[in-house]
Amino acid sequence: MGGKFGAPDKMIIGGKRLDGRKPDELRPITIKAGVIPSADGSAEITQGETKIVVAVYGPREVFPKHMSIADRACVECRYDMASFSTPERSRPGMSRRSTEISKIMAEALMPAIYLEKYPKTKIDIYVEVTNANAGTRCAAITAASVALADAGIEMRDMVVAVASGKVDGKLVLDMFEIEDNFGSADLPLAYMLRKGEITLLQMDGELTKEEIQELVEMNIEACKKIYAMQKKALQDKYSVEKKAMPDAGEENGN
Amino acid sequence: MGIDSIKSYMSELLKKGQREDGRKIFDYRKIEVEVNPLARACGSARVRIGETEVLVGVKMDVTKPYPDSPDDGTLMVNAELIPLANPDFEPGPPSPQSVELARVVDRGIRESGAIDTAKLCITPKEKVWTVFIDIYPMNDDGNLLDAAALGAIVALKHAYIPKYDEKEEKVLYKELTKEKLPLTCLPVMTTFGKLDGNVFLDASRREEKSYDGRLSIATLENGAISAMQKGEAGTFTEKEVFELLGTAIEKGKELRGLIKKV
């Protein structure tokens, strides 16, 4: 894939990447829980320049009714890119890429949810990419887990996701746009740490079996770091509310 | 029999290394490949895996190249899950399942660089060939992914470029040249299912209805992997993925043997 139009001559110089990171270094990540008051749960994530908002609605009544499942909840995800999120304006609405990502995202999150606790209901996960700079499906899954927890939905574990790939012949973690566009392979992975289960796995490019093993292990190491940030995002939101509680109690008492 | 009792029956069988149709865990059903069954296509293939049957047609047209690759032909893959093939398929706009199927087949071919797109350039920045791969399942008895990917590469391998009248700027669709579509390698897809912790190859439709998840791996003759996709709500462990990569490379050789025979 090298030699593509507009590709930089070198993407790794002196062991450092174009944005100054080491090969196995994540971009700066911030996660915030509870950003959309209308939603039952929500979260916002920034990962480098990638910025995504996720809202969870439900468990709620299923519409259309025939989609409802007698013994568990159904989960639907809608991954959408805002028209201004990409260098060139993208056409609003669902592309084929968005349709596929929506499907695999729902499938990546479902193993973590106690679906059987919410029979005949639906959980909607709405993802809006407001600024895209690579790694959006993984960042969206990471944020969606926080939003699901924020909605109070019972879960086995958080799902954490990150991508890695091959750039200039080197294996690197969490590519940004230039690396993503001109790299030679991309491997997004979502993981449940407590059970050691991979809930999303994709790959495109050209890699050997050994390189895939190395990337999978690198992703899982990074997932451990992001997992801590997910937990902190939830703690931040709910510890603030705890502090506010005594006031509310006094008011009730009066 | 309800789906749960079918599931536990299959799970019991798999634990013993058996399948309900008598296959072993990593056996394909019988695979048949027919080359160029469709006269109107540039190249085509009919693939049967057991009772699953898929028709793949390759058509070519002259289009404007993408601005970021002005000297390269382009590839479009589309899957039509027509209601004729499966009682669960419904007419209407493309379902997420059909979009996923087409995109996974697309990635296996595109990312391996199997189509030599540089050779599909007519006039840089202006005219290139676009290769359209259309996938039509005729009967879905499971594992459409492997059948479609196999059909796509066979159809490509036996496709001829149509004549192009440069003066009139017209494609003479009915006249194929003797020039073959330029291919560099043969990516093939192997898809594994997982049910109650048991991993197996080439799920039938009954097995697909029961399994928790699947993992598709596209391999090349040099032992490299060009695409992977986990599907459905099940999960895989690292160990399972690493073992399946090896199995996929071995099974890929079997499939490539079939392609070379026809």
Residues B63/B74, Cβ–Cβ less than 8 Å: yes
Q: What percent of chain A has pLDDT over 90?
A: 80
Nearest residue on chain B to A206, alpha-carbon basis:
B226
* Residue A189 placed within a domain: yes
Q: Give me the CATH number covering residue B82.
A: 3.30.230.70
And the tokens for A142? Answer: 């990471």
pLDDT at A242: 56
Nearest residue, CB atoms, B215 vs list A195, A201, A220 = A201
Closest CA to B226 of B237, B235, B234, B218: B218
Nearest residue, CB atoms, A203 vs list B70, B102, B225 = B225
* Residue A8 placed within a domain: no
Three-class SS string for B192-209? Answer: EEEECCEEEECCCHHHHH
3-state helix, strand, coil in chain A (%, to 5): 35, 30, 35
Interface residue A169 vs chain B (CB under 8 A): no
pLDDT per residue, tens digit, chain B (262 aa), is 566 889 999 999 999 999 999 999 999 999 999 999 988 899 999 999 999 999 999 999 999 999 989 999 999 999 999 888 998 888 888 999 999 999 999 999 999 999 999 999 999 999 999 999 999 998 999 999 999 999 999 999 999 999 999 888 899 988 899 999 999 999 999 999 999 999 999 999 999 999 999 999 999 999 999 999 999 999 999 999 999 999 999 999 999 999 999 8
pLDDT at A241: 56
Q: Give me the CATH number covering residue A139.
A: 3.30.230.70
Mean pLDDT value of segment A122-148: 96
Inter-chain CB proximity A198 and B237 less than 8 Å: yes
* Residue A253 placed within a domain: no
Three-state DSSP state, B8: helix
DSSP B18: -
Interface residue B149 vs chain A (CB under 8 A): no
* Dihedral sign from CA coordinates of A114, A115, A117, A118: positive
And the tokens for B182? Answer: 């330029």
Domain that holds residue B205: 3-261
ipTM of the complex, rounded to two decimals: 0.76
**A252: pLDDT strictly greater than 50:** no
**Sequence-ordered list of residues with C-beta below 8 angstroms from that of B42, at least 6 positions apart, any chain:** B58, B59, B60, B159, B160, B161, B162, B176, B181
Number of separate domains in chain B? 1
Residues B199/B244, Cβ–Cβ less than 8 Å: yes
Which pLDDT tens digit goes with each residue over B222-249? 999 999 999 999 999 999 999 999 999 9
* Residue A210 placed within a domain: no
Q: How far apart are CA A157 and CA A113, in angstroms?
A: 8
Q: How far apart are CA A80 and CA A89, in angstroms?
A: 14
Nearest CA of chain B to the CA of A24: how many Å? 19
Nearest residue on chain B to A214, alpha-carbon basis:
B242
* Residue A10 placed within a domain: no
Question: A74-81 and A121-131 as β-strands: parallel, antiparallel, unpaired?
Answer: parallel
Domain that holds residue A221: 15-205+215-246
Three-state DSSP state, B16: coil
Number of separate domains in chain A? 1
Residues B6/B209, Cβ–Cβ less than 8 Å: yes
Interface residue A66 vs chain B (CB under 8 A): no
Nearest residue, CB atoms, A4 vs list B69, B103, B107 = B69
The C-alpha angle B47, A100, A202, rounded to 5 degrees, equals 80
Which pLDDT tens digit goes with each residue over B130-150? 999 999 998 999 999 999 999
Nearest CA of chain B to the CA of A144: how many Å? 16
Mean pLDDT value of segment A127-150: 96
Nearest CA of chain B to the CA of A98: how many Å? 10
* Dihedral sign from CA coordinates of A154, A103, B215, B200: positive
pLDDT band at A2 (very low <50, low <70, confident <90, very high): very low
Nearest CA of chain A to the CA of B231: how many Å? 7
**A251: pLDDT strictly greater than 50:** no
Three-state DSSP state, B5: helix
Nearest residue, CB atoms, B236 vs list A103, A201, A220 = A201
pLDDT at B79: 93
Interface residue B230 vs chain A (CB under 8 A): yes
- Amino acid identity at B194: K
Q: How far apart are CA A127 and CA A135, in angstroms?
A: 14
Residues A125/A144, Cβ–Cβ less than 8 Å: yes
Q: How far is CA A125 from CA A50, A53, A107, A215, in A?
A: 19, 11, 12, 28
Q: Greater confidence, A118 or A1?
A: A118
Interface test with B, best of A95, A99, A101, A109 (most B CBs within 10 A): A99
The owner of tokens 């949810």 is A113
* Residue A22 placed within a domain: yes
pLDDT band at A91 (very low <50, low <70, confident <90, very high): confident
